């Protein structure tokens, strides 16, 4: 079985932990581990390989996290713009042997009951082998109004009667009682060819456009497949549910009591964490005075609380969120407000991931900006120049190979160098350990967009 992982998701449901450049599925929510990593590890119990569909920003996040799990052979397809799930799955399936059994999974959900999940996957595989399109119907535990439902043809039946939209509260309560309604988990299993033939039947234009896009795509061995922007936009945007599942008569549902959660808000995250004797999540930075049943996230500063009950505190280097846990669905209102204010806080985290490593802005003023830059072993930044800022680099760990103009030289720990305005330069780590430098930018303008890339290892020049 192959695990087709969809990495979409704008990433603001768990703001300020998640941002569009560090969406929920890649954020280190579980002792430094992400949902994405949990997903690939869980599915690797049944799947031998991974195929990742993501955008260019998320490519390096996904690649790094797969490599951290020792998975270096995964295939990638990069969408220049998202067109919902059906085109993503179609583009992937068109790249596969038609007989491949594909497990489509989002990367931002948790599954607690691993053994049960494995059983369910094996049953799905059987059904997929018999040319079915298999959905996983999560046994509902509450009258949830935030999910779509799948109605089975009787209790514990694998035959699907219909897909239904997010219900209102009263309807959801009826569904919960009836016993043959399941949450639509967004997990699917089928042969590549079954999906493609059903897609051809019900959304032929999408299939044709996807084929055309793939024919034009940049497709070099060992590199991610890169779809052209115009080709991608020519594919009709639609979900797999609308485009295929709700229409096909080959759909089956596997009832799945697998401890599934989509972690749609902080209160669901709270219930995933271990708690101390007061019902607070375990956090060494938390100084709790008469406080209980609260989720206190944050690893840098001391967080003192007094007389709190069922509260949510999310502390990040550049933004703080405080709310009752029961109001955590309303985070979207904060995100909307930030969007209206034109704030970049919904997009950019303090530590920004780049293909070559990370940078963190430690202080930013009109006249200067201070960054910590970490370059991964064997990586280098683009050959670049800036028109408005000079840069001072102090190496604090590792050895930097620095290009300034025509000179190339080493800068060692406790040594520094200087890049004048307008000078072409490059920072490289040829070593075996991470290179850490402190950068002080001085100039009339220190925005990230003052960068002219002359040459780049990562398609950004």
Binding site for its own copies (CB under 8 A): 16, 287, 289-290, 298, 301-308, 311, 313, 315, 317-324, 327-328, 330-331, 333-334, 337-338, 341, 343, 345, 362-363, 367-368, 370, 372, 390, 392, 394, 396-397, 413-414, 416, 418, 436, 438, 440, 442-443
Chain centroid, CA 386 distance in Å = 31
Q: How far is the CB of 290 from its own copies (least distance, A)?
A: 7
Q: How far is the CB of 351 from its own copies (least distance, A)?
A: 12
How far apart CA 32 and CA 140 sit, in angstroms, is 30
How far apart CA 46 and CA 43 sit, in angstroms, is 6
Q: How far is the CB of 246 from its own copies (least distance, A)?
A: 35
Task: List C-alpha distances in Å: 40 to 15, 68, 71, 93, 97.
Answer: 23, 11, 9, 18, 21
For residues 71 and 303, which CB has a smaller minimum distance to its own copies in the complex? 303
Q: How far is the CB of 198 from its own copies (least distance, A)?
A: 43
Chain centroid, CA 58 distance in Å = 7
- Per the structure block, which two tokens stand in for 54? 């993501």
Q: How far is the CB of 27 from its own copies (least distance, A)?
A: 17
**Nearest-5° Cα angle at 359, 356 to 360:** 165
Cβ-based neighbour number of residue 222 at 10 Å? 6
Contact criterion met (CB below 8 Å) for 293 and 310: yes
Q: How far is the CB of 333 from its own copies (least distance, A)?
A: 5
How far apart CA 134 and CA 158 sit, in angstroms, is 9
Token match 């001072």: residue? 392
Task: List C-alpha distances in Å: 105 to 11, 52, 213, 242, 320.
Answer: 17, 10, 23, 17, 31
Q: How far is the CB of 9 from its own copies (least distance, A)?
A: 20
First vs last Cα of the chain: how many Å apart?
37
For residues 148 and 279, which CB has a smaller minimum distance to its own copies in the complex? 279
Q: For residue 344, which of 21, 10, 23, 26 has the smallest C-alpha distance? A: 21
Q: How far is the CB of 249 from its own copies (least distance, A)?
A: 45
How far apart CA 193 and CA 247 sit, in angstroms, is 17
For residues 328 and 384, which CB has a smaller minimum distance to its own copies in the complex? 328
For residues 259 and 434, which CB has a smaller minimum distance to its own copies in the complex? 434
Q: Please list, residue by residue across 140-157, b when 16 or more beta carbons sit within 10 angstroms of its beta carbon and e when fewer do.
A: beebbeebbbbbbeeeee
For residues 237 and 370, which CB has a smaller minimum distance to its own copies in the complex? 370
Q: How far is the CB of 402 from its own copies (least distance, A)?
A: 15
Q: Give the DSSP H/E element, type plus range, for residue 175.
A: helix 169-178
How far apart CA 66 and CA 38 sit, in angstroms, is 10
For residues 103 and 297, which CB has a smaller minimum distance to its own copies in the complex? 297
Contact criterion met (CB below 8 Å) for 408 and 382: no
For residues 189 and 308, which CB has a smaller minimum distance to its own copies in the complex? 308
For residues 221 and 307, which CB has a smaller minimum distance to its own copies in the complex? 307
Q: How far is the CB of 387 from its own copies (least distance, A)?
A: 15
Contact criterion met (CB below 8 Å) for 391 and 426: no
For residues 372 and 460, which CB has a smaller minimum distance to its own copies in the complex? 372
Q: How far is the CB of 78 from its own copies (least distance, A)?
A: 31
Q: How far is the CB of 451 from its own copies (least distance, A)?
A: 19
For residues 276 and 290, which CB has a smaller minimum distance to its own copies in the complex? 290
For residues 233 and 370, which CB has a smaller minimum distance to its own copies in the complex? 370
Q: What backbone phi and psi angles, to 5 degrees, belong to 326? A: -70, -15
Cβ-based neighbour number of residue 323 at 10 Å? 18
Q: For residue 125, which of 8, 20, 238, 47 has the smallest C-alpha distance? A: 47
Pairing verdict, β 225-226 and 75-79: parallel
For residues 78 and 374, which CB has a smaller minimum distance to its own copies in the complex? 374
């Amino acid at each position: 079985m192959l695990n087709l992982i969809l990495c979409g998701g704008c990433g603001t449901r768990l703001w300020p932990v998640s941002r569009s450049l560090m969406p929920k599925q890649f954020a280190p929510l579980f002792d430094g581990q992400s949902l994405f990593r949990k997903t690939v590890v869980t599915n690797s119990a049944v799947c031998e390989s991974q195929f990742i569909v993501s955008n260019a920003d998320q490519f390096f996040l996904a690649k790094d996290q797969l490599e951290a799990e020792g998975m270096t052979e995964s295939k990638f397809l990069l969408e220049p713009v998202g067109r919902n799930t059906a085109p993503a799955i179609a583009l992937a399936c068109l790249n596969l042997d038609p007989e491949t059994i594909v497990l489509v999974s989002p990367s931002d959900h948790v599954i607690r009951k691993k053994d049960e999940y494995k059983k369910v996957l094996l049953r799905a595989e059987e059904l997929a082998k018999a040319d079915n399109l298999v959905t996983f119907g999560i046994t509902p535990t509450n009258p949830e109004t935030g999910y779509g439902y799948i109605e089975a043809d009787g209790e514990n039946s694998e035959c699907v009667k219909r897909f239904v939209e997010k219900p209102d509260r009263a309807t959801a309560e009826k569904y919960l009682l009836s016993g043959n309604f399941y949450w639509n988990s967004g997990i699917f299993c089928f042969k590549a060819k079954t999906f493609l033939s059903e897609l051809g039947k019900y959304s032929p234009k999408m299939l044709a456009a996807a084929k055309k896009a793939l024919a034009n795509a940049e497709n070099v061995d060992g590199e991610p497949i890169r779809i052209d922007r115009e080709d991608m936009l020519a594919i009709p945007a639609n979900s797999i549910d609308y485009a295929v599942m709700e229409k096909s008569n080959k759909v089956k549902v596997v009832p799945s009591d697998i401890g599934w959660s989509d972690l749609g808000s902080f209160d669901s995250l709270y219930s995933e964490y271990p708690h101390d004797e007061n019902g607070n999540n375990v956090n060494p930075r938390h100084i709790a005075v008469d406080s209980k049943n609260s989720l206190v996230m944050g690893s840098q500063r001391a967080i003192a609380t007094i007389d709190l009950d069922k509260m949510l505190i999310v502390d990040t280097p550049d933004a703080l969120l405080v709310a009752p846990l029961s109001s955590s669905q309303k985070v979207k209102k904060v995100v909307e407000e930030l969007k209206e204010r034109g704030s970049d806080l919904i997009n950019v985290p303090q530590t920004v991931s780049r293909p070559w490593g990370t940078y963190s802005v430690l202080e930013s003023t009109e006249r200067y900006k201070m960054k910590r830059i970490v370059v991964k072993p064997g990586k280098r930044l683009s050959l670049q120049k800036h028109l408005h800022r000079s840069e001072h680099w102090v190496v604090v760990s590792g050895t930097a190979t620095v290009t300034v103009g025509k000179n190339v030289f080493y800068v060692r720990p406790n040594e520094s160098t200087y890049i004048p305005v307008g000078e072409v330069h490059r920072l490289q780590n040829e070593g075996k350990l991470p290179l850490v430098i402190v950068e002080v930018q001085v100039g009339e303008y220190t925005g990230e967009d003052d960068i002219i890339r002359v040459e780049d290892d990562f398609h950004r020049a």
